A and B are shown apart, each in its own frame.
Chain A
Amino acid sequence: MRTQAKLGLFLLLTPLLLWLSLLIFIPHIDMFVVSLRERIGVAEYRISPANYLTFINEPLYLRTFLRTAVMSIIATIITLLIAFPVSYYIAKIARGRARSALFLLCLVPFWVSELVRTFGWMILLRETGLISNLLQFSGLADAPVEMLYNDAAIMIGLVYTSMLFMVVPLVTTLESLPDDVIEAGYDLGGSGIAVLREIVIPHAMPGIVSGSIIVFMLSLGNYLTPTILGGKDSLWFTELIYSQFIVRFNWELGAAFGFLLLGLSSAIVWGMLKLTGQSLEKTMG
């Protein structure tokens, strides 16, 4: 009986262990080794921190790195600010069919691929696009307006792509807040803002944090949206990694960049958890 149970546990764990070791641990260890290599001749390598020093000494790399981090944080905050009222409406105000319909509306954009969605934004924002034409038609602008290839366009794309991943955890946590607790908040003299601050937000905190972590990671690691909507004027750190690996064929530097991005996202997520007093077990479990 005991050996059978052990075998069962082992079989259940196998896919997870295979996935973790083959796709996560081994490639990362290999990447880390590659990032510590310095090429000194044809097929001649030695171990040195040279790649990391290149990153620190080259302002373009460092600036893009920090820019990506800051923009991802801003995108996360904007997504949260837009998603919170939407989630509150879906979870607490809408009833029955309206609720399912609204939830479905949040999901609909994800039925088409990210590429198609991003091209959709290009159709709207480009110089000869819908909004530009509309502005000219209404007389608000007398020449075509280019709205692509800047930070605002990236931001729009990132927020749009991330919306669902914020709405889902928020709706789930807000749904678990009983209506009578909110009513009690009002009944005992709380104004709308006080109830929001003292009752709704503290209750929704695990959802806010887990949604923010997901959105932040997705934004930081996004490649398609910044490349297509940001163009040449707005660099994203993932673009640098891509160009090192594929264009420059400098795997060593690319691997170092990859590791730096991993360290950055881990550090910011850790900081966010500390700041909000949440733990990973509480938000994910």
Chain B
Amino acid sequence: MTADLECLNLTKRFGQMTAVDNVSFQVPRGSFFSILGPSGCGKTTIMRMIAGFVEPTKGDIKIRGRSVIDTPPNKRPVNMVFQHLALFPMMNVADNIGYGLRRAGMAKAQIATRVDAALQRIGLAGTGQRKIDELSGGQKQRVAIARCMVLEPDVLLLDEPLGALDLKLREHMKVELKSLQAAFDTTFVYITHDQSEALVMSDRIAVMNDGRFEQVGSGQDLYYRPRTAFVAGFVGDTNRWTGRIERVDGDELEMRTDSGMLMRGAVHGRPLSAGDRADVFVRPEAIRIAQSAEELAHFDNRISGRVTSTLFNGAASRILVQDSAGKEEIEVNLPQSGEFASLRRGSEIHIGWSGAQGNCFAAGQS
């Protein structure tokens, strides 16, 4: 089975600046692929190169095995949902959706049936004569997607289309986009700086930084098995300590942080040895909290301390714990089961985590 989209050694330089640096990837047919990265990492440039608005300095783009480098944007079998949607304000909803079909020279009656079918599919049947500015944000979103999908593109590109929506609608659209993708059975390439969008919707995610792909994998891969310090820091929240490795024993290691705290971590197959400077990442949700030290006896990292602040955020509430030596502040997830509801600033607390949860990378990678 060939990939729907294949990029080979894609490079784009703007003057002295390299926006995209030798990126290669494949997107299998019918999958949802995301490129996740901070703003300015080059993800929009990749997307514009695939759409044909930017010419790559080097490399090749293949769609269903055919190189499209010399194909102008209006002839490429890819369509794009723009960041600000770019619906045509001078046309009504039906004309917006039918625009591509009219350009392809389809007969009027056939366009009308196709547009009606598309409107039905996005749940906006009967709104064809409405003006664009009469639609809500979520409806515009769906029209923008339908406008591309009626053309049955091989690949649909989405450039942070949820950015302009409010939080509630964004959560809803995440689920809806995923089901639209399944319904249309088209390859989606989605770029975003919002990790939750990427994690919820994607089959595979590429984390991009500084023009390169740091890691490509499923959401679980990126979250539980980050391959670089950047991915560990960018995907999900995390506690991070820098220090020197004191001892490596098989898969276990011991590291002393710069503030003097000793902690255990796991090598996870990375080339680390005693004496190296390293960063260790521990997720707040990997840390258990307990009222007594005995409950945490099975963890190899145990710290007693006091709460310096509670950060209430519903299900994602956290506390900041300062160890008794007063050197480090550690972010810990607060279970909402009620047993810790009485925690206040200054409360005594015990925390612990297993060394295998600590991802350790040689320092200086990011």
Q: Which residues of A contact B (CB under 8 A)?
A: 178, 180-181, 183-191, 194, 198-199, 202-203
Q: Are A187 and B88 in contact (CB under 8 A)?
A: no
Tell me if A189 and B151 are in contact (CB < 8 A): yes
Residue of A185, A202, A203 ringed by the most chain B CB atoms within 10 A: A185
CB-defined A-B contacts under 8 Å, sample of 29: A180-B83, A181-B86, A181-B88, A181-B89, A183-B51, A183-B53, A183-B80, A183-B86, A184-B88, A185-B99, A186-B72, A186-B74, A187-B51, A187-B52, A187-B53, A187-B74, A187-B80, A188-B79, A188-B99, A188-B100, A188-B103, A188-B148, A189-B104, A190-B74, A198-B91, A199-B88, A199-B90, A202-B91, A203-B90
A186-B86 in contact given A194-B103, A198-B99 (Cβ < 8 Å)? no
- Inter-chain CA distance A130–B83, complex, in Å, is 55
Verify if B38 is at the interface (C-beta below 8 Å from A): no
Interface residue? B223 (CB, 8 A): no
Q: Which residues of the partner chain B approach A199 to less than 8 Å between Cβ atoms?
A: 88, 90
Question: What are the 3 A-B residue pairs with the smallest beta carbon separation, nearest first?
Answer: A188-B100, A184-B86, A180-B86
B84/A180 in contact, CB under 8 A: yes
In the complex, number of A-B residue pairs with CB atoms less than 8 Å apart = 63
* Cβ-defined contact, B51 with A190, below 8 A: no
Cβ–Cβ contact B84 & A188, under 8 A = no
Beyond the given A180-B84, A183-B86, A202-B91, please list 14 additional residue pairs across the A-B interface where CB-CB is below 8 A.
Answer: A180-B86, A181-B87, A183-B73, A184-B82, A185-B99, A186-B74, A187-B53, A187-B73, A189-B74, A189-B75, A190-B74, A190-B103, A198-B88, A203-B90
The closest CB in chain B to the CB of A187 belongs to B80
Query: Nearest A residue to B80 by beta-carbon distance?
Result: A187
B277 at the interface (CB under 8 A from A): no
> Which residues of chain A have C-beta atoms less than 8 A from B88's C-beta?
181, 184-185, 198-199
Q: How far is the CA of A184 from the CA of B51 in the complex (A)?
A: 10
Main SS at interface, chain A: helix
Q: Which residue of B lies closest to A195 (CB)?
A: B74
Residues of B close to A180: CB separation below 8 A: 82-84, 86
Looking at the assembled complex, report how far the CB atom of B256 sits from the nearest CB atom of chain A, in whole angstroms.
52
With A180-B84, A184-B82 as contacts: A203 and B89 at CB distance below 8 Å: yes
| Complex contact A189–B103 (CB within 8 A) | yes
A186 touches B73 (CB 8 A): yes
Closest A-chain residue to B84, C-beta based? A180
Contact code string B128-171 (vs A, CB < 8 Å = 1, else 0): 00000000000000000001100100000000000000000000
Instruction: Enumerate chain B residues within 8 angstroms of A203, measured Cβ to Cβ.
Output: 89-90
In the complex, chain A residues whose CB is within 8 Å of the CB of B91: 198, 202
CB-CB < 8 A to B52: which residues of A? 187
CB-based nearest A residue for B157: A187
By a CB distance below 8 angstroms, the chain A residues around B51 are 183, 187
Docked pose: A194 CA to B72 CA in angstroms: 15
Q: In whole angstroms, how far apart are the Cα atoms of A191 and B75 in the complex?
A: 9
Is the pair A184, B103 in contact by a Cβ cutoff of 8 Å? no
User: How near does chain A come to B178, taking the closest CB pair, in angstroms?
Assistant: 23
**With A and B bound together, what is the CA distance between A185 and B90 in angstroms?**
12
Give the CA-CA distance A203 to B88 in the complex, in Å: 9
Q: Which of chain B's residues has its CB closest to A194's CB?
A: B103
Across the interface, name the chain A residue whose C-beta is closest to B90: A202
Q: Is the CB of A187 within 8 A of B79?
A: yes
Most chain B CB neighbours (cut-off 10 Å) among A181, A184, A191, A199: A184
A187 surroundings in chain B (CB, below 8 A): 51-53, 73-74, 79-80
- Which interface residue of B73, B83, B104 has the most chain A CB atoms within 10 A? B73
Nearest-Cβ distance from residue A208 to partner chain B, whole angstroms: 13
